[in-house]
Amino acid sequence: ADPNNGTVPTPLTNYLDTQYFGEISIGSPAQMFNVVFDTGSANLWVPSQRCSPFSTACFTHNRYDSSQSHTHVENGTGFSINYASGTIRGFLSEDVVVVGGLPVVQVFAEATSLSAMPFIFAKFDGVLGMGYPNVAIDGITPVFDRIMSQHVLKEEVFSIYYNRDPKHSPGGELLLGGSDPNYYIGNFNYLETREMGKWEVTMKGVSVGVETMFCAEGCTAVIDTGSSYITGPASSVSRLMKTIGAQLDETGYKVNCDTVKMLPSVTFQLGGQEYSLTHEDYIIWQSQIEGDVCTVTFRGLDVPPPTGPIWILGANFIARYYTEFDRRNNRIGFATAV
C-alpha cells in the first residue's frame, strides 16, 4: 500500500462520460467486480450467482459465488434498495472485500433481481455506496466506515476524479485517505455538509449566463458520484432547457449541434464560490450515422419532500471539479480538475 496515506489509488473506467466504475474483489480466492463508488447511497451489492434466471441484467454481469469463497459467512437477511433509476433485491452475505488495496470484512448484498431498466445498460456489476452510515439500508456499516475504524488512513477523506475525455486513461480515480495532486490545480474550496450524514450542501443559486434563474432563496445540492447527470426540479430544468433552446425527446434533452458553441455557461453558487459549466461540460456530442446528436446532461427529477426539492450534481459536475469528501470534518472540497 502507498506509504503516503495507507492505500493505493483505484483507477476508474469511463464509459461514454456517463458511467464511471472501478475494480474491487470479494471473497477468497478473490472474485473481481466492477462497481460505481457512489456517494448517493451507502450499501455494497453485487449480482449473485443465485440470480433468478429471468433477471437479464444479472446474467450479463459478474456474479458472486459464495460456495467458492472460504471466507464467506452466511447471513440471509432480505435486502432491497431503490435508486433514482432502478431497484435491486437480494439477501445479505459477509465476506472479505478489498478496496484500494485495503481488506475489510464487510456485510453486503447479493442481488438476485435487478430491474432490467436501466441495469441492462450498466457497464458495471454492482455499487459500492460511499454515503454516511445513517443512509445505509438495514443499518449495515458501510465500507468506508469499516476502513476508517482500521486507522490506516492518513486522513479520513476520499477523493474522486472523473476524466471527461474518454480517449485518455485513466477514466478516473478513487483515492482513499487523501487527494491526488495529479488531477487538480489550485486550492480546494470547502463547504460544510448541510445535514449530518448526507453528502449534500446548501446552494445559493443557479445562473444561466449572468442571470440567477433558480434557487435564489437557497436550496439543497446533493453531490452524487453515482448519478451521470445534473438533475433539478422538473419545472426549473424545463425552463433552463427552454432558455438554451433544448427539446425533450424520449432519451433526454437535445440541442441542435450547430448552436452548441454559443450556449451560455450554467453556474452553481456553492459556499461563496461560483462553479460554472460550459457547453463542453454539459453537452455530450455524439457523431452518428444519421448525423450528430447533442445531448444536454441535465434531467428534470422531482424528489418529494422532506428530502426534496433538490438539485443533484453528478458525474458531469465532478468531471469539471475534483471532489474531496471529508468525513473527519463533514465537509466537501472542490478544486478545478485537470
Pattern of binders to ligand LIY over 232-261, x per CB under 6 A? ------------------------------
- 19 is a contact residue toward ligand LIY (CB under 6 A): yes
Q: Which amino acid is at 327?
A: R
The least distance separating ligand LIY from the CB of residue 221, rounded to whole angstroms, comes to 14
Q: Which of 5, 14, 93, 228 binds ligand LIY (CB under 6 A)?
A: 228
CA nearest 136: which of 114, 156, 106, 112?
106
CA nearest 85: which of 38, 134, 139?
38
- 40 is a contact residue toward ligand LIY (CB under 6 A): yes
CA nearest 159: which of 144, 169, 149?
144
Residues 140-179 that bind ligand LIY (CB under 6 A): none
The least distance separating ligand LIY from the CB of residue 50, rounded to whole angstroms, comes to 21
- 337 is a contact residue toward ligand LIY (CB under 6 A): no
Which residue out of 17, 38, 125, 326 is catalytically annotated?
38
- 118 is a contact residue toward ligand LIY (CB under 6 A): yes
Count of alpha carbons within 13 angstroms of residue 197, beta-carbon side: 7
Q: Which of 36, 136, 175, 296 binds ligand LIY (CB under 6 A)?
A: 36
- 47 is a contact residue toward ligand LIY (CB under 6 A): no
Sign for the pseudo-dihedral over CA of 307, 311, 317, 323:
negative
Of 25-33, 37-45, 177-185, 324-332, which segment contacts ligand LIY by CB under 6 A?
A: 37-45
Pattern of binders to ligand LIY over 301-330, x per CB under 6 A? --------------x---------------
The verdict on whether 224 is a catalytic residue reads yes
Cell of 106: 464487510
Cis peptide upstream of residue 29 (ω within 30 degrees of 0): yes
| SS3 of residue 119 by DSSP | helix
| SS3 of residue 263 by DSSP | coil
Q: Which of 85, 141, 238, 336 binds ligand LIY (CB under 6 A)?
A: 85
Rounded to the nearest 5°, which phi and psi values hold at 119?
A: -70, -15
The verdict on whether 38 is a catalytic residue reads yes
Burial class (CB in 10 A: 0-12, 13-18, 19+), 70: exposed
Question: Going along 163-307, which residue ranges are E strands?
Answer: 172-176, 184-192, 200-208, 211-214, 219-223, 230-232, 247-249, 252-255, 266-270, 273-277, 283-288, 291-296, 298-300
Which residue out of 17, 95, 125, 224 is catalytically annotated?
224
Closer CB to ligand LIY, 104 or 120, in the complex:
120
Closer CB to ligand LIY, 59 or 70, in the complex:
59
Q: What is the set of active-site residues?
A: 38, 224
Using CB under 6 A as the criterion, which residues of the chain lie in contact with ligand LIY when the complex forms?
19-20, 36, 38, 40-41, 83-86, 118-119, 121-122, 127, 224, 226-228, 315
